[in-house]
Amino acid sequence: MSNLISPVLAEEKKKTDEDVLLEVRNLKMWFESRSGFFRQQVNHVKAVDDVSFYIKQGETLGLVGESGCGKTTVGRCIVRIYQPTSGQIIYHGGESPVDLATLDRQKLRPYRQEIRMIFQNPYSALNPRMTVFENIAEVLIVNNLAQGQELKDRVASLLRRVGLRTEYMRRYPHAFSGGERQRIVIARALATNPRLIVADEAISALDVSIRAQILNLMQELQEEMGLTYLFIAHDLSVVRHICDRVNVMYVGRLVESAPAKSLYFDLKHPYTEALMSSVPIHNPRMRGKKKRIRLEGEVADPSNPPSGCYFHPRCKYAKERCTTEVPTLRDLGNDRFVACHFAEELDLSNVQSV
């Protein structure tokens, strides 16, 4: 993207400014690495490189891409596990907008109650030395939200809300299945009555038979509590089921943004086309009629990305312009944005059969 927030994204945001809960502006997260003799040569891994988007109140925004594209890093910057290298994270949940990227640890505390995270692996997200009660109660105690009998009642209520029995409170995490552990993780995320939840691959570590149950639970909680989700995933069939809008990332940059229904029926970026071709086709009559697109070469190295469009070494539609000029995220109308020089000219695969 350009060095400034995309004018088209800014204009689109203004149309629904009252509905915007969070804005990410020109976010960068570069990790320092050293190499060479005595490790004197300093390099930077550009995990997130100039990303801008916004999330509306009450919606589910999907963030998708291959492993290593930077989507998890974006989520961790939003909840301030990482201190961004540069950029803004504007939260509109209070009386006035605040840039979370500039706040110190003490000033972040009230906002960490409103923005919570569900981590990918429920087996490592819970402290095995603490009971279920202690794992959930810790959040309430640290934030001075409950104590004594009220604390027990709050934890019991949270467990019931996620479909678990209250007598489970005194058990340890090892006594539960993966799906039950993820329900406990969700209960802990809900403990502070948040407005925004960053769900980082929330179902990818679960059995296929359990995933639908957790997705349905998340949707029920969203309707009940008015939650907003940033849903980070690589499974595009799941994203289609739960998300209102989808952002596609490649090597730290956004390459396409669109309403979920539009994205799945009308592709605009070659990378999105390749991702969609890997989605299993559930209609038996359509199987075998669409070929999976196998990208040549390797994913670009974020510490030494190619010139021009980062995707051009793997793109079968690439032209000379792609090798030298970085595409900006352009407005194609109907809330569609794409970072491709030739998006209007390409006739990409239609995947409405998935």
Q: In 226-293, which residue ranges form alpha helices assigned H by DSSP?
A: 236-242, 260-265, 270-277
User: What pLDDT is recorded for position 264?
Assistant: 83
pLDDT at 3: 38
Judged against a pLDDT cut of 60, whether residue 10 lies above it is answered with no
Distance CA 334, CA 261 (A): 12
> What total number of domains does the chain contain?
1
The pLDDT, as a whole number, for residue 291 is 65
- Please state the rounded mean pLDDT for residues 263-292: 74
Q: Judge whether residue 274 has pLDDT over 90.
A: no
Q: Where is average pLDDT lowest: 6-15, 72-81, 288-297? A: 6-15
Question: Quick one: pLDDT band at residue 233, thresholds 50, 70, 90?
Answer: very high
Radius of gyration of the chain (CA): 21
pLDDT score of 296 more than 80: no
Q: What's the pLDDT at 7?
A: 47
Give 8's pLDDT tier (boundaries 50, 70, 90): very low
**Is residue 297 included in any domain, yes or no?**
yes
pLDDT band for position 282 (cuts 50, 70, 90) = low
Domain assignment present for residue 47? The answer is yes
Q: Report yes or no on 111 lying in a domain.
A: no
**Residue 150 one-letter amino acid:** E
316, β-bridge pairs: none
Pick from 156-170, 269-283, 314-328: least confident:
269-283
Using CA atoms, how far apart are residues 149 and 61, in angstroms rounded to an integer?
Answer: 37
What's the pLDDT score for residue 207?
86
Flag whether pLDDT at 88 surpasses 90. Answer: yes
Confidence at residue 33, expressed as pLDDT on a 0 to 100 scale: 78
Q: Give the global pTM.
A: 0.88
How many Å apart are CA 72 and CA 248, to the nearest integer? 13
Asked if residue 77 is part of any domain, the answer here is: yes
Region 246-256 average pLDDT: 95
| Alpha-carbon distances, residue 173 vs 54, 127, 128, 153, 168 (angstroms) | 36, 8, 6, 20, 10
Q: The domain containing residue 310 runs over which residues?
A: 7-93+195-338
Q: Is residue 81 part of a domain?
A: yes
Asked if the structure places residue 323 within a domain, the reply is: yes
Q: According to the model, what pLDDT value does residue 349 have? A: 61
| Three-state SS at 43 | strand
Q: Among 179-183, 255-259, 289-293, name the one with the lowest average pLDDT.
A: 289-293
Residue 134 phi, psi dihedral angles, 5° rounding: -65, -40
Residue 2's pLDDT is 39
Q: Is the pLDDT of residue 107 over 60?
A: yes
Q: Which pLDDT score, from 0 to 100, does residue 5 have? A: 45
Residue 133 lies in a domain: no
Query: Tokens 């009220």 map to which residue?
Result: 150
Whether residue 144 lies inside any domain: the answer is no
pLDDT band at 301 (very low <50, low <70, confident <90, very high): confident
Which of 133-137, 298-302, 350-354 is the least confident region?
350-354
**222: which residues sit within 8 A by CB, 6+ positions away?**
58, 60, 228, 229
Q: Is 96's pLDDT higher than 80?
A: yes
User: Who contacts 247 (Cβ-Cβ below 8 Å, separation ≥6)?
Assistant: 53, 61, 62, 63, 64, 254, 256, 257
Burial of 152 (0-12, 13-18, 19+ CB in 10 A): middle
Domain at 325, CATH number: 3.40.50.300
Which region among 2-6, 101-105, 305-309, 332-336 has the lowest average model confidence (pLDDT)?
2-6
pLDDT (tens digit, 9 = 90+) per residue, 27-47?
Answer: 999 998 776 666 677 788 999
Mean pLDDT of the chain: 87
Read off the pLDDT band of 9 (50, 70, 90). low
Give yes or no for a contact between 139 and 126, defined as CB atoms under 8 angstroms apart.
no
CA 131 to chain centroid: 29
- pLDDT > 90 fraction of the chain, expressed in percent and rounded: 63
Please check the confidence at residue 106 and state whether its pLDDT lies above 70: yes
- According to the model, what pLDDT value does residue 186 have? 96
